[in-house]
Chains A and B, each alone.
Chain A
Amino acid sequence: DSGVTQTPKHLITATGQRVTLRCSPRSGDLSVYWYQQSLDQGLQFLIQYYNGEERAKGNILERFSAQQFPDLHSELNLSSLELGDSALYFCASSARDSPYNEQFFGPGTRLTVL
């Protein structure tokens, strides 16, 4: 158990809908990262937040957005869902006070878009 929690574990929805995935980082970690893992693309970095502010952006679609709240939990919002958005979405956290970036992953949310 990494200490990172994600809810829900599974989500099944229809095309065109909007969903919100939630992540709570390990206690004391200020950085939260979101990743998408699909069979053909592997793990793809989406976005990073540090202490409430966006720090880095990866291959995140405009239909997706995220935020990190004052209590450091983060939410990833996916809208106008398409079949191709079906994937495992991971959240990871890291402690920024170490010089290097060891990320710990949550259990993931499996999103299925029908």
Chain B
Amino acid sequence: EDKVVQSPLSLVVHEGDTVTLNCSYEVTNFRSLLWYKQEKKAPTFLFMLTSSGIEKKSGRLSSILDKKELFSILNITATQTGDSAVYLCAVELASSEKLVFGKGTKLTVNP
């Protein structure tokens, strides 16, 4: 069974801290890994990773994929209260184009 596991489930930090969110996966036919941020409504797209070892960066957020060890990390530096959200990791299957989601990491950034 295709599986995506995120850790930790929940994280509380202070503004200015750096956080690392983890995503590991076991899937039959990997195509890409995606990170989404979900606040109160719909998930919003952050990154798509397809190749190992290449870091994707957007402002204070960055992500990297290790296809050999089957995991990805999402780093957020100098966190702000606006970063508080659930961060979802999803793996796209090559065979069916569907996304398999992890249960998410709930990040709370306190002032």
Contacts and interface: CB of A to CB of B under 8 A. Distances in A.
B99 A100 contact: no
A83 interface: no
> How many A residues are at the interface, by size bracket?
20 to 34
A53 B45 CA distance: 25
A107 interface: yes
Interface in B55-111: 88, 90, 92, 96-104
Interface in B23-66: 31-32, 34, 36, 41-45, 48, 50
Nearest to A43: B101
> How many B residues are at the interface, by size bracket?
20 to 34
A103 B99 contact: yes
Contacts of B48: 100, 102
B42 A2 contact: yes
A25 interface: no
A108 to B, nearest CB: 6
Interface of B: 31-32, 34, 36, 41-45, 48, 50, 88, 90, 92, 96-104
25 contacts: A2-B44, A4-B42, A31-B97, A33-B98, A33-B99, A35-B101, A42-B101, A42-B103, A42-B104, A45-B100, A55-B96, A55-B97, A56-B96, A90-B42, A100-B50, A101-B92, A101-B97, A102-B34, A103-B45, A103-B99, A105-B36, A105-B42, A105-B44, A106-B42, A107-B42
